[in-house]
């Protein structure tokens, strides 16, 4: 992934279309996906040397098909089908990629029979065109773990009888939330803070943005598809200010906003403005709108908390969760003051108890009303309970500063 | 989410172990291998190892830039340790419920010697 970067990028763009053609023609998703990986590898070796073919999709389909035929020839059990498949194998003219191949593949990879970690791995490979080794480095797990996850996922899909087909409009709407959820998960998995660039580690955040863009290319007017793309762009815009040189994460209020990516913010805001007035509202659009309000504030103090409070109210109706409720309380405390926030926190305590962020929010509010001892205790409790390393360090630092 | 499934041991466990029949010990070992194979096949296993005797542990201190390994049994704080880590599984799973389910299948769990701890996630925070 150094000097050949443009070829790698081009290949990943082509991957879903090529896989779509292969699976529609030969059906066997597992074998087609393996053949695609071989073809991508062959292209990454020969294109930089021999130059890119005039018809890159056709080249990849032909190469992958040859691999498929070779596999079948070796497979004695399939001998009887071999002649038919070999006959079908030579593409008659240009292969025509299906319009909805990317979504059809995403729907297949996010099949409900699979666990989210399996959905993530399969999506990165089949739709993203990443190798097993790249996915493993991206997810920080051994390559063998990812390889097993992918082969188990393919077996599950086959056992569930799932077929590759362009989803009907009704299916598309039914399966889209799971697809968007997985793309967002890939984005957050790739969000890891690290001191210095790890050149060996593929940027899963950038990969998620690319996939969201590809999906959006097929449905430019779809509210939630657009909402997801806007959300990842508006969140990613803060990335340059998110990590200190020592690798520690910087909280939103303390970030140097001059380092935010203005172009990404402008793109995210424009996307949102295009769909918000016309599309059916959904959780990704609302979360993107909240991110946009933060991104458009020149300083943390100038944040429009009234608007954020209203948006969290909407989000709580569309996608209720303890995290959303806690964030609404944070916004409420910014609008009505920390006492009001603490009261709401007490009211909702039974519903939120046990959630690790309750103590963190309580600690911040106690600090703001000047109850230092109670704030220190709450910060320490929060630091003990969080599963996030950067948050743990941050909370311990706040406790130490006040104690 | 990654979880460390820690398998502890102690002197009482040793006594119980010695009281088992050969067949029972073999079952115990097979159950360990089966669990490990299943987790490898499901793509949830990150690493799994059994540790050598705690008597072989070396406590390491570093003073003035020099590393000095110290054998246990001396004056170190570990000399009094009654429970020790005998092995571990590092798994990457959907969530805590699944990690607990895995821990429950570790044969040593019948003696209450298995503990599950979440691994800190260095990426997930949007303060």
Burial class (CB in 10 A: 0-12, 13-18, 19+), A395: buried
Range B83-86, long-range pairs (CB < 8 A, 24+ positions)? B83/B8, B83/B9, B83/B10, B84/B8, B84/B9, B84/B10, B84/B54, B85/B6, B85/B7, B85/B8, B85/B9, B85/B51, B85/B54, B86/B7, B86/B8, B86/B9, B86/B50, B86/B51, B86/B113
Q: What residues are paired with A332 via a beta bridge?
A: none
| A287 touches A231 (CB < 8 A) | yes
Minimum distance, in Å, between the CA of residue B36 and any CA atom of chain A: 12
CB atoms within 10 A of CB A118: 26
Looking at residue B10, what is its pLDDT? Answer: 85
| A124 touches A156 (CB < 8 A) | no
Enumerate residues 6+ apart whose C-beta is below 8 A from A177. Answer: A224
Each residue's pLDDT tens digit in chain B (127 positions)?
999 999 999 888 878 888 889 999 999 999 999 999 999 999 999 999 999 988 888 888 888 888 877 766 555 555 445 789 999 999 999 999 999 999 999 999 988 889 999 999 877 666 6
Residue B56 structural domain: 2-125
Which residue of A lies nearest to B90 if distances are taken between CA atoms? A141
Task: Return the structure tokens found at A257.
Answer: 């906003």
User: Between chains, do A192 and B123 touch, taking CB under 8 Å as contact?
Assistant: yes
Question: Where residue A86 falls among pLDDT bands split at 50, 70, 90?
Answer: low
CB atoms within 10 A of CB A195: 11
* Helix spans in A51-198 (H): 56-74, 79-89, 101-109, 116-126, 132-139, 143-159, 169-189
Q: Which residues of A touch B43 (CB under 8 A)?
A: 117-118, 121, 145-150, 152-153
| A141 touches A225 (CB < 8 A) | no
Q: Tokens 């053949």 appear where?
A: A35
Distance CA(B127)–CA(A242), nearest Å, equals 10
Distance CA(A176)–CA(A174), nearest Å, equals 6
Which residue of B lies nearest to A190 if distances are taken between CA atoms? B123
Looking at residue A81, what is its pLDDT? Answer: 58
Minimum distance, in Å, between the CA of residue B94 and any CA atom of chain A: 7
Enumerate residues 6+ apart whose C-beta is below 8 A from B75. Answer: none
Summarised one tens digit per residue, pLDDT across range A103-124 is 888 988 999 899 999 999 999 9
DSSP states of A217-263: HH-TT-HHHHHHHHHHHHHHTTHHHHB-TTSPBPPGGGS-GGGS-HH
User: Between chains, do A115 and B124 touch, taking CB under 8 Å as contact?
Assistant: no
Looking at residue B85, what is its pLDDT? Answer: 93
The CATH code of the domain at A103-187 is 1.10.10
Looking at residue A199, what is its pLDDT? Answer: 53
Distances (CA, A) of A259 to A135, A192, A200, A256, A262: 29, 18, 25, 6, 9
Distances (CA, A) of A367 to A146, A344, A386: 44, 16, 19
Q: Which helix (H) or strand (E) holds B41?
A: helix B22-41
Distance CA(A59)–CA(A17), nearest Å, equals 12
- Residue B115 sits in a domain whose CATH number is 3.30.70.1060
Looking at residue A87, what is its pLDDT? Answer: 52
Report the first-to-last Cα separation within chain A, whole angstroms. Answer: 48
Q: Is B48 on the interface with A (CB under 8 A)?
A: no
The number of folded domains in chain B is 1
Task: Return the structure tokens found at A337.
Answer: 């003051």
Ramachandran class of A337: left when φ > 0, alpha when ψ lies in -120 to 50, beta otherwise: left
Q: Which residues of B touch A148 (CB under 8 A)?
A: 40-43, 45
Enumerate residues 6+ apart whose C-beta is below 8 A from A268. Answer: A229, A230, A231, A233, A234, A237, A288, A291, A292, A295
Q: What is the 3-state secondary structure (H, E, C) of A43-65?
A: HHHHHHHHCCCCCHHHHHHHHHH
Question: Which stretches does DSSP call E strand in chain B?
Answer: 2-10, 45-50, 59-63, 66-70, 83-92, 114-118
Q: Which residues of B touch A190 (CB under 8 A)?
A: 123
Structural domain boundaries of chain A?
1-95, 103-187
| A342 touches A361 (CB < 8 A) | no
Which residue of B lies nearest to A250 if distances are taken between CA atoms? B127
Task: Return the structure tokens found at A251.
Answer: 């909280």
CA-CA-CA-CA torsion sign (A388, A393, A398, A400): positive
What is the SS3 assignment for B92? strand
Summarised one tens digit per residue, pLDDT across range A330-364 is 999 999 999 999 999 998 888 887 777 899 999 99
Model pTM? 0.84
Q: Is A248 on the interface with B (CB under 8 A)?
A: no
Q: Is A288 on the interface with B (CB under 8 A)?
A: no
User: Between chains, do A388 and B93 touch, taking CB under 8 Å as contact?
Assistant: no
Summarised one tens digit per residue, pLDDT across range A197-228 is 555 567 888 899 999 999 998 888 899 999 99
Minimum distance, in Å, between the CA of residue B3 and any CA atom of chain A: 11
Which residue of A lies nearest to B123 if distances are taken between CA atoms? A192
Report the first-to-last Cα separation within chain B, whole angstroms. Answer: 20
Summarised one tens digit per residue, pLDDT across range A287-316 is 999 999 999 999 999 999 999 999 999 999
Q: What residues are paired with B118 via a beta bridge?
A: B3
Q: Give the number of A-B residue pairs with CB atoms closer than 8 Å.
A: 78
């Amino acid at each position: 992934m150094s000097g050949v970067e443009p070829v790698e990028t081009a290949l990943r763009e082509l991957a879903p279309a090529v896989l779509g053609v292969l699976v529609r023609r030969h059906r066997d998703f597992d074998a087609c996906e393996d053949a695609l990986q071989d073809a991508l590898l062959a292209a990454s070796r020969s294109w930089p040397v021999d130059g890119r073919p005039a018809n890159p999709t056709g080249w990849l389909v032909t190469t992958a098909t040859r691999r498929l035929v070779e596999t079948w020839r070796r497979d004695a059990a399939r001998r009887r089908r071999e002649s038919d498949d070999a006959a079908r194998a030579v593409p008659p003219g240009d292969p025509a990629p299906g319009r909805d191949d990317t979504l059809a593949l995403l729907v297949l990879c996010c099949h409900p029979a699979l666990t989210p970690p399996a959905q993530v791995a399969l999506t990165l490979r089949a739709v993203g065109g990443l190798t097993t080794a790249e996915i493993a480095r991206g997810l920080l797990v051994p390559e063998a773990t990812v390889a097993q996850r992918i082969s188990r996922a393919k077996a599950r899909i086959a056992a569930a009888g799932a077929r590759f087909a362009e989803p009907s409009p009704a299916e598309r709407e039914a399966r889209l939330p799971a697809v968007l959820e997985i793309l967002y998960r890939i984005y957050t998995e790739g969000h890891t803070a690290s001191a210095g660039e790890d050149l060996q580690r593929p940027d899963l955040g950038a990969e998620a943005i690319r996939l969201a863009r590809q999906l959006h290319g097929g449905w430019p007017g779809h509210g939630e598809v657009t909402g997801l793309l806007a959300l990842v762009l508006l969140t990613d815009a803060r990335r340059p200010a998110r990590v200190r040189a020592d690798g520690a994460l910087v909280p939103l209020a303390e970030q140097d906003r001059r380092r935010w990516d203005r172009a990404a913010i402008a793109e995210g805001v424009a996307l949102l403005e295009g769909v918000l007035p016309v599309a059916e509202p959904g959780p990704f659009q609302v979360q993107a709108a909240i991110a946009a309000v933060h991104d458009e504030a020149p300083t943390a103090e100038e944040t429009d908390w009234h608007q954020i409070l209203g948006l969290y109210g909407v989000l709580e109706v569309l996608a209720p969760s303890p995290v959303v409720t806690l964030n609404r309380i944070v916004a409420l405390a910014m609008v009505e003051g920390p006492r009001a926030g603490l009261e709401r926190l007490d009211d909702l305590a039974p519903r939120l108890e046990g959630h690790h962020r309750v103590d963190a929010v309580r600690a911040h509010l106690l600090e703001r009303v000047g109850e230092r001892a109670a704030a220190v205790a709450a910060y320490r409790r929060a630091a003990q309970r969080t599963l996030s390393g950067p948050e743990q360090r941050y909370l311990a630092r706040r406790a130490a500063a006040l104690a | 989410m990654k979880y460390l499934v820690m398998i502890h041991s102690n002197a009482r466990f040793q006594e119980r172990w010695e009281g088992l029949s050969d067949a029972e010990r073999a079952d115990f070992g097979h159950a360990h291998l089966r669990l490990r194979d299943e987790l490898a096949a499901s793509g949830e296993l990150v690493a799994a190892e059994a540790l050598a005797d705690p008597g072989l542990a070396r406590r390491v201190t570093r003073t003035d830039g020099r590393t000095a390994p110290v054998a246990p049994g001396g004056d170190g704080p570990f000399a009094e340790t009654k429970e020790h880590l005998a092995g571990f599984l590092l798994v990457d799973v959907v969530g805590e419920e699944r990690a607990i389910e895995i821990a429950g299948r570790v044969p040593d769990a019948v003696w209450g010697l298995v503990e599950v701890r979440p691994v800190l996630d260095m990426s997930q925070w949007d303060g």
